[in-house]
Structure formats: C-alpha cells, structure tokens
Structure 1
Amino acid sequence: MTYEHPLAYVLGLEGMALMRAFTGEHGREFVEERIAEIRALLADESLAEAGVEVARVDTVEGYRIWSRTYDGPNSTFDYDEPLVHAIIDGLPAGVALDAACGTGRFAAALAERGHRVIGVDSSPDMLALARERVPEGDFRLGDLRGLPVPDDTADLVVCSLALTHAPSLDPVLAEFARVLRPGGHVVIADIHPAGVARGVVPNLRLPDGRPARVATYHHPIGDYVRAALRAGLRVRRCEEPAMQAPAPPVPRATPPDGPTAPGPWELWPWVLVELAPEAARAAVEGVPAIVVWHFQLAP
C-alpha cells in the first residue's frame, strides 16, 4: 500500500524546477514565482486532505484488469515503437522471442518482418489477445525469470515496457542470454528511471473500486549495463528520447480564484501538472521518457 497526495507530487515538481533554477537554467523572476506558487498551494485547503491510499498489485492481477484497455490510447507506444522497429529492421529474420509480449504488438511487427515468433507473458488475459492478433505465433505462459524456452533457441529477444516490473534485472538478462543463440540480439525498451521516479507507473481500479498501481521498481541506467555484462551481453546501442512538450493545460474544475481541483485519480500524475504548469514544464524539459537498449551476445 502506498499513499499518494497530489500536493506532495506538485511540491515535488516545484522542487525539481527550483533545483534547475539553482544551477542557472532559470532566473530570479522564475524562482520568486515558484516560491509564491508553493505558498499558495500550501494555503489551499481543498488540497490538504486529498491524499489517497493506493494498493500495489502484481503484474498478473494488474494486467488482467488492464488488458481490456492496454492498447489505446497509450502514448508510450509513440516513443518505443519507432526505435525498436528501427533496430529490428536492421537484423535478419530468424526465431524471435517477444518476452513479456502483452497483447502482441511487437510479436505482430516481428512476424511481419519474417520472424518465427515465440511470445511469453505471465498474464493469460494478455496472451489471449496476442494469440488473436498473431495467430501464427507460438505463445506461452511464463515468467521472465524462468522462460519456457530451451537454450540456444532465439536469434532475437525483444522486451518492451516490462523490466520496470522486475525486482532485479540480473535473472531476466541471464534468461535472455540463455535462450539466445551465439551472436543473437536483445532489444529492450523501458520507462526511463527518471520517469519511474516521477510516478509514471501503471494505474487501474480493482474490482471493488479501490485505486491500485502495478508493482514497479526503479532501475538506474547502470543496472541495465551491469546486468547485461554479467549475462555476457555487450551494448550495441542506447537511446533516451526526451519527453515531448507537455500538452496544453487541462481546464480547472473551478474558476482560477476558487479552490483547486486535483482532477480524477485515474489521471494522476498527468492532470496534476495543471496545478503548477510552469514548474512542471521546467521540471521535465529535456528529461528522457524511455530508454531503449540493443545488446548482443558474443558469437
């Protein structure tokens, strides 16, 4: 169980913006505006008791609920798909494992490029959708830490938006290396650790209506490199595309001079930026949205 408070999130954005100002990215007027805004937020009684207790659920339960709406709209796909497609377009067709395949969006892309596709996921609900999407694929129920795939089977492993749910990267990267043939490739896309630290974590409602988030872990960039090296993988490429400019502010639920409305919990943290839009823009400007890795096993 975690405790989420909109005021805590917005004050965090203010602090991040002020730290960037402290290092010279913004001037005196910006700093004074942020301090005045913080005082106003702290004085806003409508935010004082807006905290929410949020359950933490595992991936099987979380993706069972999320499977119905996972494919859209999902803005993260705009970041990972172009880079992952660009990498796999440069690789020869063979046997490709879509690890944590979800609804099969990358399995479909791999099949279109001539690969024989194996998909593994721990969610039966996501696998059912993947089988419908890619009927020629071989989809198996399994865990990333113990893939139901023999040694030296795959020429390519693709894994997207999944390793942030793994408590440790070492057993997962070791499994990827185990199932690869010599010289095989691994392509990983993940929410950037800077995003995880800002609360970019899947949210959903439990059957009884309680708010919940899928268990997610913060893995610094160095953790990926160390786990890959220990598994015998070498880095071929790393990309960290920056976040796009924030969308236009969502209109407040009340007039600007009235009480502040933090918006529905389902849209946290995205709608919370409207409580301090300038601070939010300063806090996330140039910050990576995702990280994409290309590793290769020694021949």
Structure 2
Amino acid sequence: MIYENPLAYVLGLEGLALLRSFTGEYDRAFVEARVAEVRALLDDESLVDAAVEVARIGTVDGYQMWSRTYDGPNTAFAFDEPVIEEMLDGLPTGTSLDAACGTGRIAAVLSERGHQVLGVDSSPEMLDRARVRVPGGEFRLGELSRLPVADDDVDLVVCCLALTHVPDLRPVMAEFARVLRPGGNLVISDIHHERVARGSVPSVRLPDGTPGRLETYRHPVGDYLRAALPAGFQVRRCEEPLIPLPEPSEVRDPPRVPGVGPWEVWPWSLADLVPEAAAAANAGVPVEIIWHFELTGSATRPAPTADQG
C-alpha cells in the first residue's frame, strides 16, 4: 500500500522551492514567505487527518479499469504527439510496431502515414478499442519483455507512455532490438522521472471504491542509455518538453482552496494550496522524455520462444 498524505505533499513542494532558493534562484522575501507558509500548513486542521491508503495496481488490472476513459482529456498526449510526428517525418514508411499500443492512439497516426501497423498490448480491453480505432491494423496480446513478434520483423517500433510501468528497461530494449530489422528505428515517449517524483502516476478506483495507483517506476536519463546502447541502439534525438509555468512573482493573492479536494484530483489539486511554492518547485521540470534511437549494432538476442513469431 501507498500512504498518501496531502500535508507531506505540500511540505515537499515547499522543500523543493526552498532548495532552489538556497542556490540563489529566489530572494529573501520568497524564503520568508515559504517558512511562514510551512508554519501555517502545520497548523491547518483540514490537513491533519486527510491521508489515504492507496493500493498498488498492476498494469493489466489498472488499464482494464482505465480503458473506458483513457482517450478522454489527457494532457500527456499534447506533449508527445507533436514531437513524435516530427520524428516520424524523417522516417520511411514500412512495417511498424506500436508496443504497448493501448487504445491505438499512435497506431492510428502510423496507419494514416501509410505504415503497415502491428500493435501489442497486455490489456485485452485496450486492444478491443484499438481494433475498432485502426481496423486495418493487426493487434496481439503480449508483454513488452516478451513480444509476440518474430526476429527482424519490423522497420519501426514506437512505444509511448509505457516504460514508466517497467521496473527494468534492459529486457524491453533487448526485445525492441530483436524485432527490429538492421537500421530500424525506435521512438519512445515516457513520463519524465522528475514528474513521476512529483506524483505523475495514473490513478484508478477499484470496484469497491478503494483508490489505486498503477505500478510506476522512475527512470533517470541514464537508465534508457544503459539499456539501449548495449542492445545496439544509437541516439538520434532526445527531447524533454516543458509546461510553461508562471513565475512566483506572477502569483498574486491566490484563493485558498477549502480542504484538500477529492483524492481523484491529487496531487495536482494539492499544488493549489501552495501555488507560489509549486510554481518554484516545478519550474523548468520536463513533462516527458522523448527519444529517437536507431538500431546500428547487433543486440544480444534471447533464445526464441514458442509464442514469438
């Protein structure tokens, strides 16, 4: 179980803001305001008993619950899609694998560009939606670490917003290298590890109403490289898009949100309790990390399995 305490979250934002001020990014008045706000938060009775026990949910169960609303408003899509489209602009059409394809968001983009699309996902519910969305594609049930795809079978692999749910990137990168033809390309988008640290973890409600978060892992930049380079990949491009944030000086007399709001809107609603600190804590922090790799070397190939091919 995860212990989510809103007081701990807002104090964490205050701490991040104070650390940035310590190196000269913010002045004395800002620091004094933060310390005064910390004292007020500690005295705020609405935060005393607001903590929640949250279940850790595996991706198969989590995406089964999330599949009904996954294509609704999702701000993450606005950050990776323009960059992915740019990366695809320079690549030839061919046979393309949308790994962890979900409801077929990127599979649809590939199909519109003339690619022969293969999608793989571990959620049957997501695959059902992808088949409707991209009727010309082929969709298979499978795991990222054991793709149901033959060796050297595709020209392009795209994997979006999925690797944060993988504890170890190395087996997945090796699988991507296995299924790609020599000279093939790999495009990845992922939630940035700094955003994961600030609570960017998908939430769901279990059938009994228990709050849950999908299993999510922080992967610093080096994790991708340590997994990709030994598999034979070389970096062709890396982008880290940002959310434009107001400067703390632009936040004037913010209205105090009564209470902490419903759990479904945590942690972002909690930032409204301390908007000046939140702006400072999040300034310059990327939303996602987006990679373009090319397979230029030979990967160490795992032994073939009966369900690959």
Bucket of the pairwise TM-score, normalised by the shorter protein: over 0.9
Report how far residue 245 of structure 1 moved. 2.4
Look up the equivalent residue of 1:208 and give its one-letter code.
D
The 5-angstrom pairing of residues 100-115 of structure 1 reads 100-115=100-115
Whether 2:122 is the aligned partner of 1:122: answer yes
Residue matched to 1:231: 231
Report how far residue 198 of structure 1 moved. 0.8
Look up the equivalent residue of 2:294 and give its one-letter code.
Q
Please state whether the residue corresponding to 1:275 is helix, strand or coil. Answer: coil
2:285 to 261, 284, 287: 287
2-structure distance, mates of 1:188, 1:121 = 15
Residue matched to 2:148: 148
Report how far residue 141 of structure 1 moved. 0.2
- Deviation by residue 1:190-244 (Cα, 9 ceiling, x = unmatched): 0000011111000010000000000001111100011000111011110011123
2-structure distance, mates of 1:110, 1:268 = 34
Whether 2:250 is the aligned partner of 1:211: answer no
1-structure distance, mates of 2:139, 2:175 = 17
1-structure distance, mates of 2:142, 2:7 = 40
Residue matched to 1:175: 175
Mapped contact 1:54–1:213 kept (Cα < 8 A): yes
Q: Tell me the TM-score normalized by structure 2.
A: 0.92
Whether 2:88 is the aligned partner of 1:88: answer yes
2-structure distance, mates of 1:3, 1:243 = 28
2-structure distance, mates of 1:75, 1:36 = 33
1:269 to 258, 267, 270: 267
Report how far residue 46 of structure 1 moved. 1.3
Look up the equivalent residue of 1:279 and give its one-letter code.
A
2-structure distance, mates of 1:90, 1:260 = 50
- Structure 1 portions without partners, runs of 5+: none
1-structure distance, mates of 2:199, 2:174 = 28
- Deviation by residue 1:128-167 (Cα, 9 ceiling, x = unmatched): 0000000000000000000000000010000000000001
Superposed CA RMSD: 1.6
Whether 2:144 is the aligned partner of 1:135: answer no
Report how far residue 109 of structure 1 moved. 0.2
Mapped contact 1:44–1:260 kept (Cα < 8 A): no
- Deviation by residue 1:243-271 (Cα, 9 ceiling, x = unmatched): 2327x99xx9xx84xx9411110000110
Look up the equivalent residue of 2:80 and give its one-letter code.
D
- Deviation by residue 1:21-69 (Cα, 9 ceiling, x = unmatched): 0010000000000000000000011101110000001000000000000
Look up the equivalent residue of 2:129 and give its one-letter code.
L
Report how far residue 286 of structure 1 moved. 1.1
1-structure distance, mates of 2:80, 2:283 = 19
Look up the equivalent residue of 2:289 and give its one-letter code.
V
Look up the equivalent residue of 1:268 and give its one-letter code.
W
Identity %: 65
Look up the equivalent residue of 2:277 and give its one-letter code.
A
Residue matched to 2:296: 298
Mapped contact 1:47–1:260 kept (Cα < 8 A): no
Look up the equivalent residue of 1:64 and give its one-letter code.
Q
Please state whether the residue corresponding to 1:63 is helix, strand or coil. Answer: helix
Residue matched to 1:75: 75
2-structure distance, mates of 1:14, 1:260 = 19
The 5-angstrom pairing of residues 48-63 of structure 1 reads 48-63=48-63
2-structure distance, mates of 1:132, 1:24 = 54
Q: Tell me the TM-score normalized by structure 1.
A: 0.95
Report how far residue 117 of structure 1 moved. 0.3
- Structure 2 portions without partners, runs of 5+: 298-309
Please state whether the residue corresponding to 1:201 is helix, strand or coil. Answer: coil
- Deviation by residue 1:266-293 (Cα, 9 ceiling, x = unmatched): 0001100111000000110111000000
Residue matched to 1:160: 160
